Structure 1
Amino acid sequence: MESIEDVQYVVVHGHRRAYRIAGSGPALLLLHGLACDSSTWVDVMPALAEHHTVIAPDLLGHGQSDKPNADYSLGGYANGMRDLLTVLGIDKVTVIGHSFGGGVAMQFAYQFPDRTERVVLVSTGGLGKEVTPLIRLMTVPGSGMAIAVATMRPWRPLVRGALASLSRLPISATRDLGEVARIYESLADPALRTAVQRVTSHVVDWRGQFVTMTDRSYLARLMPVMVIWGREDMVIPVSHAESAPSPVSDVHVLEDSGHFPHRDHPEQFARLVQQFIEANAPAHYHRGRWRALLKRGDQHELESVEQPAAPRPAIV
């Protein structure tokens, strides 16, 4: 089995795409959040790879993937994931997305339902307006120059060290600062900084998130969906879990966890994912069902053309 620490590369549309891959069996596609990379998944990949082929790419503009002047929209990312999977010879996946990656996961399932078996959303964007002011500030004119100054070499080690130290305090408000420290240092790269601002501009403005999938969440009736959130998330509020697609979503709110529940509780996270997969057969795309649901929208339950829907469990 390939080492999870090894990053591999493939060129798609002239741009280098970095990814980690491990295991064998039905495929899982793991999508990281804004200004992160595939390393965010290394703690959960070994357990998931025991039963699955696990693919964790660095999204374009992030990590070790190229950072071109390109399309950084949700639709563009969904297309890029389809093409990466095609090059790797993978037809269908259960897609797991964290934060911004959750938005990409929902967009992938929306654009390519024939290639999506299940969806797992982790502290996801796209279910509400509220988001941390730090992300909203990235859309303000002049923020790029401010970030460039804030990440200059003379004080970069000091700031990262201070953030990492604060993250070890027994205070929920500082829990995620270790991850913030990694993101802060990555933003010293001008190409990544530009890409991240491009991404942000597609989904957020100074008032908050303006792109939502809630108007299309009724389509989840034809696809198993699970939502995982940290109770102490300071980036995107856990209340957004209440907007999760209904009626077929499993919703799990993890205690003693912030915006990165897969890093706070990797064993529990992997167990929840495996249980969800075992309990839910993969979705099978049927054009007639899809058409009927689009025509009816969220006004009525499908009748003879709809697959039976499982009851929505309580948030635990």
Structure 2
Amino acid sequence: MPFADLGDARLFYTDDGSARPVLLLVHGWGSDSHEWSHHIPALRERYRVIAVDLRGHGYSSAAESGNTPRRMADDLVRLCGRLGVETVIPIGHSMGAQVVSHLAVEHPSLVRALVTVDPGYGFTGAVADGFPAMVAALREGDANATAVQMDQWTFTPASPGWLKEWHRRRLLAMPAHVLTESFAAMFGEPRSIGVRPASEEYLVRRECPVLSFWFDPAQAAWERTVFKDPRSKTVVWEGSGHRLHEERPGEFLLVVNTWVKEVTR
């Protein structure tokens, strides 16, 4: 049965394919593992692929508290142990990029390499200045409606309508307290790594090679300054939306497959 009971969390996951290395697919805020539906069929032909709904998301359980990226990373460590997985290459989108970065920093022996997709870290300037108001709006109003409104920045005029509707429905179905707690943990608390300089101080501790996708060239240029492994690289797709892996799945898979082959040979 595709559920793992971890005591304080019950996670839904799928486990496909058998070849090494093992990829661990980690979705973003207010989403679930279905966002990898365009990618799993091709990836499982090359790798073992584990795709999980983080705590509070999708078909996984939602605790009253503890729905934070750090706790989500701890869940993934326990899930890997349950499945007998000793090393993984996590691929994390948005909040998922924070989650997998916690894995790389706090559990370096588990993470062989790392892929992040328009990561939810490194923000500065007007964007970072706006996070306190966003946290307050989630806490004080209709968190689901607020999340849908906040999500509009993630799309461009070229983003397909089905993608907008899929994520709108996911956000409306989310437990409101999970949306609020997880967003605040990313961007509104003393230990949050979503904004600089906290991002820099934490991410520089990632020793493994990192492949990072961005639509913003300035953000990509900044992240290069915190890479430690010389095999790390950034890919910039200007004009894409925040969910560039869903907008351009074929190109995304091509880049990921090529890079994984390079860092694992």
Name the residue aligned to 1:20: 14
Aligned pair 1:219/2:205, yes or no? Answer: yes
The two structures, once aligned, show a CA RMSD in angstroms of: 3.1
Question: Which residues of 2 match residues 81-160 of structure 1 at below 5 A?
Answer: 81-129=76-124, 131=127, 137-140=133-136, 143=139, 145-147=141-143
Q: 1:228 aligns with which of 199, 210, 213?
A: 213
Q: How has the CA–CA distance of structure 1 residues 10 and 218 changed in structure 2, closer, same or farther, with 3 Å as cutoff?
A: closer
Structure 1 residue 254 displacement after superposition: 2.1
**Number of residue pairs the alignment of both structures matches:** 251
The aligned amino acid for 1:242 is: A
Structure having the higher Rg: 1
Structure 1 residue 132 displacement after superposition: 8.8
In the alignment, structure 2 segments of 5+ residues that lack a partner are none
Structure 1 residue 192 displacement after superposition: 1.8
Q: How has the CA–CA distance of structure 1 residues 136 and 13 changed in structure 2, closer, same or farther, with 3 Å as cutoff?
A: same
Aligned pair 1:76/2:71, yes or no? Answer: yes
Pick 1 or 2: higher relative contact order, CA cutoff 8 A, min separation 6. Answer: 2
Contact 1:93 1:116 in 2 (8 A): yes
Q: How has the CA–CA distance of structure 1 residues 86 and 22 changed in structure 2, closer, same or farther, with 3 Å as cutoff?
A: same
Name the residue aligned to 1:186: 170
Instruction: Give the secondary structure class of the aligned counterpart of 2:4.
Output: strand
Name the residue aligned to 2:227: 246
The aligned amino acid for 2:221 is: E
The aligned amino acid for 1:214 is: E
Distance of 1:111 and 1:260 partners within structure 2: 26
Distance of 1:214 and 1:17 partners within structure 2: 31
Structure 1 residue 174 displacement after superposition: 6.3
CA shift digits 1:128-163 (9 cap, x unpaired): 236499976541156553345779xxxx9xx9xxx9
Q: How has the CA–CA distance of structure 1 residues 135 and 279 changed in structure 2, closer, same or farther, with 3 Å as cutoff?
A: same
Structure 1 residue 201 displacement after superposition: 1.0
Q: How has the CA–CA distance of structure 1 residues 219 and 65 changed in structure 2, closer, same or farther, with 3 Å as cutoff?
A: same
CA shift digits 1:72-93 (9 cap, x unpaired): 2322111111001111111110
Question: Among the aligned pairs, what percent are the same residue?
Answer: 24
Instruction: Give the secondary structure class of the aligned counterpart of 2:166.
Output: helix
In the alignment, structure 1 segments of 5+ residues that lack a partner are 1-6, 231-236, 283-316
Question: Once structures 1 and 2 are overlaid, which stretch shifts more, 116-125 or 239-248?
Answer: 239-248
Distance of 1:142 and 1:53 partners within structure 2: 37
Contact 2:3 2:10 in 1 (8 A): yes
TM-score normalised according to structure 2 size: 0.82
Structure 1 residue 107 displacement after superposition: 0.7
Aligned pair 1:267/2:253, yes or no? Answer: no
Distance of 1:115 and 1:267 partners within structure 2: 28
Instruction: Give the secondary structure class of the aligned counterpart of 1:84.
Output: helix
